[in-house]
């Protein structure tokens, strides 16, 4: 098996020392593990099967594995089981934990590959990252370092898995969270404020608008106000941005709409309080407002000698405060995540394994 894996890595142009440290890690082909993970559909709320697979895979390689249930929210269309998966060494407190998420955004896109790239939902966000972290953790464990792995559910929606995990930390000093950063260390990660808006009105025949009250017209006015808000700018991290992601309402073009809803996501570069106040002012007298997600903007540490970037996206890091000093690092480009064109270069994946090992050893000194 080791010879076969060495051959496959060599065929991909890999010349690192991934196979030298630990026999358990030596049998792990990160490309093959990514393929296996991506062939299991795990859009948010449907993480049960991929969690089961990972738990069995890690237990079979000598890790002590814990599966912790993560509750389904009211908005979920399923009551299926889903989990967080933690793997460590029995009786040992880890010094460093690798973590990322098992869920993906919809729709599911079947895995495919060629000589250079892997394609499909999750290859970069974040199942390739899982594979790289598993391989790196095996190498580090073989080198005598105290390492853990934490894979969570729900990051793409509400960080439910991270919130649950934060109630049962393992005492680690460092957390390396994985997201697509092009193998660069993130110096900051924007926060996220999700806003749910609802307007109500009175139905009438559209030929006689004076007899009704349009909820859609109210919503259009609120959304126009939101897009015109002057929101905070950070010299370091850039602008606060607003995305109107979903709009629904009304019954037909010839009916005055009696209801409308919209979902808005605001990327934060500051505390959410002034932004929340601005949203409430914009909606005053027109719409009901609910803030359904509030993830903090965070500044992160650099690692000497490694390239850096600013993550304009949000992560689970604000919900994993009890897992040690956080870093954000992973293979893949966020520019193709959440798109039909998601892909990850095989060489970049294998480079990430070596990079994770290097950073962990540097942190643990």
Short-list 33, 20, 17, 164, CA closest to 86: 164
Cα–Cα distance for residue pair 257/341, rounded to 1 Å: 37
For 244, counting Cβ atoms within 10 Å of its Cβ (0-12 exposed, 13-18 middle, 19+ buried), the class is middle
Catalytic residue, candidates 41, 47, 75, 155 = 155
Q: The tokens 């196979």 sit on which residue?
A: 19
Hey, what's the torsion of the CAs at 207, 213, 214, 220, to 10 degrees? 130
Active site residue 304: no
State the residue for tokens 């505390």: 271
Query: What CA–CA distance (Å, rounded) separates 364 from 324?
Result: 13
Q: Which of 151, 156, 135 is nearest to 337 (CA)?
A: 156
Q: What does the block give as tokens for 278?
A: 């601005």
Handedness of CA 116, 121, 125, 126 (dihedral sign): negative
Nearest to 118 by CA among 365, 346, 311, 306: 346
**Could you list the active site residues?**
155
């Amino acid at each position: 098996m080791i010879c076969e894996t060495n051959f496959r890595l060599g065929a991909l142009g890999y010349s690192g020392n991934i196979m030298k440290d630990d026999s358990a890690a030596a049998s792990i082909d990160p490309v093959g593990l990514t393929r296996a993970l991506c062939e299991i559909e795990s859009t948010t709320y449907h993480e049960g099967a991929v969690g089961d697979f990972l738990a069995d895979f890690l237990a079979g390689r000598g890790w002590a594995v814990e599966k912790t249930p993560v509750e389904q929210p009211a908005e979920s269309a399923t009551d299926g089981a889903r989990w967080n998966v933690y793997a460590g060494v029995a009786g040992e407190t880890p010094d460093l934990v690798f973590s990322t998420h098992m869920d993906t955004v919809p729709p599911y896109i079947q895995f495919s590959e060629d000589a250079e790239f892997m394609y499909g939902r999750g290859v970069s966000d974040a199942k390739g990252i899982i594979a790289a972290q598993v391989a790196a953790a095996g190498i580090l464990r073989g080198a005598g370092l105290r390492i853990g792995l934490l894979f969570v559910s729900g990051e793409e929606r509400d960080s439910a898995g991270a919130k649950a995990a934060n109630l049962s930390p393992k005492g680690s000093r460092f957390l390396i969270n994985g997201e697509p950063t092009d193998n660069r260390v993130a110096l900051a990660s924007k926060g996220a404020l999700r806003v749910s808006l609802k307007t109500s009105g009175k139905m009438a025949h559209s030929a006689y608008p004076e007899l009704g009250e349009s909820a859609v017209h109210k919503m259009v006015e609120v959304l126009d106000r939101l897009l015109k808000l002057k929101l905070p700018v950070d010299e370091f991290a850039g602008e606060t941005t607003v995305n109107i992601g979903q709009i629904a309402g009304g019954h037909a073009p010839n009916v005055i709409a009696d209801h409308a809803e919209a979902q808005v996501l605001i990327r934060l570069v500051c505390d959410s309080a002034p932004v929340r106040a601005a949203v409430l002012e914009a909606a005053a007298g027109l719409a009901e407002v609910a803030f359904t997600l509030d993830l903090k903007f965070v500044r992160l540490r650099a690692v000497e000698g490694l390239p850096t970037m600013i993550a304009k996206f949000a992560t689970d890091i604000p919900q994993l405060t009890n897992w040690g000093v956080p870093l954000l690092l992973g293979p893949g480009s966020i520019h193709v995540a959440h798109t039909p064109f998601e892909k990850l270069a095989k060489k970049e994946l294998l480079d990430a394994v070596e990079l994770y090992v290097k950073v962990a050893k540097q942190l643990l000194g």
